[in-house]
Amino acid sequence: MLSQKSIRTSFLIKLSAAMAALLLVFSLILYSYITYGVDKELRSSLMKQAEYLFATYPDVKKGIEENGEILRKTLKINARIIYMPKSHYKPLHIRTVKRDKQYFIELLFPYNFENQTYLNISANVTEQKHVQQYVYRAIILINIVSMGLIIFYAYFLSGMLISPIRTLSKKLSERNEKMMEPIVSDDLPLEFEPLALSINSLITRIQGFVKYKKELFIGAAHELKTPLAVMKTKTQVTLLKRNTTEKDLREALQQNITSIDEMNRIVSSILEFGRAEGAQFETPRDIDVIAFLKQKANDYKILCDANKQKFSYHLKPEKCILHIQPLLLSQILQNFIQNALKFTPKDKNVELRSYQEKHYFVIEVIDEGKGIDEGKDLFAPFLRTKDSSGVGLGLFLVKIAADSMGAKVEILNRNDKQGTIARVRLPKYPFCKV
């Protein structure tokens, strides 16, 4: 594990390198723009001088010979007509040359193609080049100073950023399976409060998971202990009888078989829980949850018809894409529907519906059964009603699946007291396309 010093050093290097690269790119752009602007202005000025000569003197060659000195003093250019063989012919050409530590810009302009002569105009641009060099040196100096400031700033900035991370790390290191209190964010910068809230949300989910896991183990031990005790008692009573008949033995064996079947159902439910936990590792993907629900609704209708119950569904909107784990959603819906069918009388209705809230996509299963006791934790393991034939792990699995998807589940009585509403709220993350 990297130490705090190593993390800070790595951050400092990366931040300094990024800012230095940005400064270098900006400096190159600035120098290139200045150089291009100056060179363009010098070339444009030289072209204007050539146009001036052609416009002023009908015979440029004669005009240059007669007024060469005046041109050097007033326009600060050297103009002449030169000869160049056709093999060296060039169109309009401008270049910068250096002679005796001085810089000149030269224009080569075709004058008389038949005589192979060109107008050559040159101007001394040493002063302008020195200005460019001065700007270049100034930019280098600014870069050096700026790099020092960047390193200085990055050093203190890294300290400011690492300090809250160090605080969070310390707070998290103090947590263990016996102490899972939420992190107090009062001493953290405002920018880190969302991170602290996310960590506290995770801690809360871990607390719930640990709580339900403990209840599962305790409940499993208790549920398995009861049939074992019945088997032991029945066997002992049979053995204590002096005149044990074949009927007594058959009755004892039959009771033991019943107890074994009960234990087998409990073990099967625990194994189902293990498989359901494996579904949590399913890779989330984008699905049209409305199309998904419609497909499931067709299967649920078949079940209702078989039980002589009515089934209806009302799904809104027409299309909604969510990034979820389909297998976990199937587990939640399957348990909701199974419970609804179990407690809804014949000829009564079971309804599946969906709609959107501000931050959630809501799915509800509504039945016309006898309702629930809202004072009990319905999602606790091995909790079941007197007339229930299951072992009480269905809603426990629903809670685990919902937590894995970041969803919220609840079961409550209808306002008219004529049944139950089982609801799951799926977060519309990263988006819900309608």
Confidence class for position 384, pLDDT limits 50, 70, 90? low
- Between 28 and 162, the more confident residue is 28
Which residues have C-beta within 8 Å of that of residue 397, sequence separation ≥ 6? 272, 273, 276, 331, 335
- Between 349 and 194, the more confident residue is 349
CATH classification of the domain holding 320: 3.30.565.10
- Between 127 and 89, the more confident residue is 127
Same domain, yes or no, for 332 and 304? yes
What was the pLDDT predicted at 420?
A: 92
Same domain, yes or no, for 264 and 344? no
- Between 266 and 301, the more confident residue is 301
Q: How far is CA 147 from CA 13, 24, 143, in A?
A: 12, 10, 6
User: What does the alpha-carbon distance between residue 106 and residue 61 come to, in Å, rounded to a whole number?
Assistant: 17
Half-sphere exposure of 244 (CA within 13 A, CB side): 14
- Domain boundaries, position 359: 285-427
Same domain, yes or no, for 271 and 299? no
Same domain, yes or no, for 118 and 223? no
Q: Is residue 271 one of the residues assigned to a domain?
A: yes
The verdict on pTM exceeding 0.75 is no
Same domain, yes or no, for 297 and 404? yes
What was the pLDDT predicted at 249?
A: 81
Q: Is residue 183 one of the residues assigned to a domain?
A: no
Tell me the two tokens of residue 34. Answer: 């200045």
Same domain, yes or no, for 235 and 319? no
Tell me the two tokens of residue 20. Answer: 């230095």
Select from 11, 14, 15 the least CA-distant residue to 163.
Answer: 11
User: What does the alpha-carbon distance between residue 343 and residue 217 come to, in Å, rounded to a whole number?
Assistant: 28
DSSP string, 238-287: HHH-SS--HHHHHHHHHHHHHHHHHHHHHHHHHHHHHHHHHHTTSPPEEE
Contacts made by residues 167-173, CB under 8 angstroms, sequence distance 24+:
168/192, 168/195, 168/196, 168/199, 169/4, 172/199
Q: Answer whether residue 2 shows pLDDT above 50.
A: no
Largest CA distance in the chain: 153
Confidence class for position 347, pLDDT limits 50, 70, 90? confident
Confidence class for position 1, pLDDT limits 50, 70, 90? very low
Q: Is residue 194 one of the residues assigned to a domain?
A: no
Q: Which residues of 342-360 are buried (b: 16+ CB within 10 A; e: fewer)?
A: bbbeeebebbbbbeeeeeb
Average pLDDT, the chain: 79
Same domain, yes or no, for 272 and 404? no
Q: Answer whether residue 156 shows pLDDT above 80.
A: no
Contact indicator for 344, 394 with CB cutoff of 8 Å:
no
- Between 367 and 157, the more confident residue is 367
Which helix (H) or strand (E) segment is 358 a member of? none
Q: Could you give the 3-state DSSP secondary structure of residue 103? A: strand
313-328 confidence digits (pLDDT tens): 999 888 888 888 888 8
User: What does the alpha-carbon distance between residue 219 and residue 384 come to, in Å, rounded to a whole number?
Assistant: 12
Q: Strand order in 102-112's β-sheet?
A: 78-83, 117-124, 102-112, 93-99
Q: Could you give the 3-state DSSP secondary structure of residue 364? A: strand
Same domain, yes or no, for 399 and 378? yes
Contact indicator for 335, 373 with CB cutoff of 8 Å:
no
Alpha helix stretches (DSSP H) within 307-393: 326-343
Q: Is residue 411 one of the residues assigned to a domain?
A: yes
Same domain, yes or no, for 138 and 251? no
407-420 confidence digits (pLDDT tens): 899 999 988 878 89
User: What does the alpha-carbon distance between residue 55 and residue 125 come to, in Å, rounded to a whole number?
Assistant: 24
Q: Answer whether residue 221 shows pLDDT above 90.
A: no
Confidence class for position 141, pLDDT limits 50, 70, 90? confident
Q: How far is CA 242 from CA 236, 237, 238, 346, in A?
A: 12, 10, 9, 51
User: What does the alpha-carbon distance between residue 26 and residue 31 come to, in Å, rounded to a whole number?
Assistant: 9
Whether the ω angle into residue 189 lies within 30 degrees of 0, i.e. cis, is no
Contact indicator for 321, 286 with CB cutoff of 8 Å:
yes
What was the pLDDT predicted at 363?
A: 94
DSSP conformational letter for 44:
H
> 113, 146, 179 — which closes off a domain?
146
Same domain, yes or no, for 341 and 255? no
Same domain, yes or no, for 97 and 26? yes
Q: Is residue 50 one of the residues assigned to a domain?
A: yes
> 121, 146, 171 — which closes off a domain?
146
Tally the domains of the chain: 3
Q: Is residue 32 one of the residues assigned to a domain?
A: yes
Mean pLDDT of 209-238: 74
Q: Is residue 169 one of the residues assigned to a domain?
A: no
Q: How far is CA 422 from CA 182, 267, 279, 291, 352, in A?
A: 29, 27, 21, 20, 10
Which residues have C-beta within 8 Å of that of residue 319, sequence separation ≥ 6? 288, 290, 291, 433, 434
Q: Is residue 390 one of the residues assigned to a domain?
A: yes
Same domain, yes or no, for 313 and 382? yes
> 95, 125, 146 — which closes off a domain?
146
